[in-house]
Amino acid sequence: MDNESRLADRLRKGAGAGVFHLPADGGVVIAAAAASGGLGVARVDLTGCGNKDEFLRRIATALRFPAWFGHNWDALADCLTDMSWWPAAGHVLILEHADGFRTVAERDFLTALEILEEAARNRSADDAPLWTFVGLAADGIAHLRSL
């Protein structure tokens, strides 16, 4: 079994899904493995994203949220927990270039990560994993491990 197949197998399992640091140049490899494993893949470029509204707009577009999406944190949590409009064995979200958003709107950045982590926990119980990989210059995800 090659590395892509092993990674695809791992991503299909709900146990352990959550929010993780995106390894340098890992987006292409993770996206390919996820797609080959039947998971929906969304990549969000956060370059220039400076606030909650812009983050929600970008994530809603990338994840193809339905028209009823309310563009607030509660609506984000609802949509991430039930992605029935995008049938797949699970989903992988790759947040690229997140350093600027983290710096300019740290509170919004942390809230978004907490919502993504909670949605991953809820979905792994249904064996429909949600994996999020966040592209940062340094691993800024460590705070989630203490929750």
- Domains of the chain from N-terminus onward: 3-139 (3.30.370.10)
Which residues are within 8 A (CB) of 34 and not within 5 positions of it... i.e. 6 or more apart? Answer: 8, 11, 40, 41, 92, 131
pLDDT, tens only, 69-93: 999 999 999 999 989 889 999 999 9
pTM above 0.75, yes or no: yes
Structure confidence at residue 126 (pLDDT): 72
d(CA 17, CA 23): 16
Structure confidence at residue 144 (pLDDT): 45
Give per-10-residue mean pLDDT for the chain (147 aa): 81 88 86 93 96 97 95 97 91 95 95 96 85 84 47
Structure confidence at residue 24 (pLDDT): 80
